[in-house]
């Protein structure tokens, strides 16, 4: 029965992706920034419902830029969860651009892509982010640079944070956890190692209900800060909310 329901929701999810493409093609050209953000949030919440994911928030998500948002990275679901709560543009790995349907959707909503293995590309993206922040955007980044199993926060890389420092804008740290109904950490959304997008989606469709916990911490001033010191400060704050018993690892 669970596999049958998962199959039905998979088909509904594919339909939801096409509905998102239809919305972008027919409504975005005449919509202002706030209206586009509402379309994106509504669409994200709809897809999360199909995946049996609910959102619980603490703190106050900033709704207007200029602001950089940083959060720990567990899954491709992280993007949907934050978009449902906060009108951000994301900086994501370049591979997402080539994912079927999802890549097109991500590009159309303003996602910035980075080749993480390329130092030159990282500098290009830093300048692009800084320009967006100066223009008043709300831009989200994953300073870990990769996903984890959610039990701890990996070392924060400081490069992208230079954009916030250069633009003189604050940074809002966000702690993300995926929880089972008993409030224990859920492994269903984890996207690491040999996981493929399809296998991860199928696992979510068959999983027990999951709560995505978003803890929005107070914004941190970046102006005049050293980027490595800022990265360490943000990592420490998020780690304290994810797992206060684990000391944050140091970036080498």
For residue range 42-97, list pLDDT tens digits in order.
Answer: 999 999 999 999 999 999 999 998 999 999 999 999 999 999 999 999 998 888 88
Strand partners for 177: 213
Phi–psi pair at 148, nearest 5 degrees: -130, 180
CA-CA distance, 68 to 128, in Å (whole number)?
A: 13
Mean pLDDT (whole number) for 221-246: 92
Question: Which pLDDT belongs to residue 100?
Answer: 78
CA-CA distance, 230 to 173, in Å (whole number)?
A: 11
Kind plus residue range of the DSSP H or E element containing 16: helix 2-27
Q: What is the model's pTM?
A: 0.90
Strand bridging mode 53-59 / 138-141: unpaired
Give residues with Cβ within 8 angstroms of 168, minimum separation 6.
222, 223
Is residue 164 pLDDT above 80, yes or no?
yes
Question: Which pLDDT belongs to residue 246?
Answer: 59
Mean pLDDT (whole number) for 24-42: 91
Strand bridging mode 171-179 / 210-216: antiparallel
Question: Which pLDDT belongs to residue 227?
Answer: 96
Mean pLDDT (whole number) for 1-5: 85
Residue 122: band (very low, low, confident or very high) from pLDDT cuts 50, 70, 90: confident
Question: Which pLDDT belongs to residue 252?
Answer: 41
Q: List the chain domain ranges.
A: 2-242
């Amino acid at each position: 029965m669970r596999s049958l329901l998962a199959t039905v929701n998979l088909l509904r999810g594919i339909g939801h992706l096409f509905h998102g493409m239809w919305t972008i093609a027919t409504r975005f050209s005449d919509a202002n920034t706030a209206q586009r953000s509402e379309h994106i949030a509504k669409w994200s919440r709809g897809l999360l419902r199909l995946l049996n994911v609910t959102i619980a928030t603490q703190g106050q998500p900033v709704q207007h830029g200029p602001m950089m948002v940083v959060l720990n990275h567990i899954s491709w679901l992280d993007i949907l969860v934050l978009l449902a709560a906060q009108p951000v543009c994301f900086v994501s790995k370049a591979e997402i651009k080539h994912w079927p349907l999802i890549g097109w959707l991500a590009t159309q909503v303003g996602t910035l892509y980075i080749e993480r293995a390329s130092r030159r590309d990282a500098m290009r993206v830093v300048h692009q982010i800084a320009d967006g922040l100066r223009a008043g955007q709300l831009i989200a980044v994953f300073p870990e640079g990769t996903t984890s199993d959610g039990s701890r926060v990996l070392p924060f890389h400081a490069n992208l944070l230079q954009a916030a420092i250069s633009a003189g804008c604050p940074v809002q740290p966000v702690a993300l956890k995926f929880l089972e109904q008993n409030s224990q950490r859920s492994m269903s959304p984890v996207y690491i190692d040999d996981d493929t997008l399809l296998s991860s989606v199928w696992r979510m469709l068959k999983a027990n209900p999951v709560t995505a916990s978003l803890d929005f911490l107070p914004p941190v001033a970046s102006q005049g800060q050293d980027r490595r010191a800022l990265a360490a400060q943000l990592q420490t704050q998020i780690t304290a909310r994810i797992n206060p018993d684990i000391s944050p690892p140091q970036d080498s």
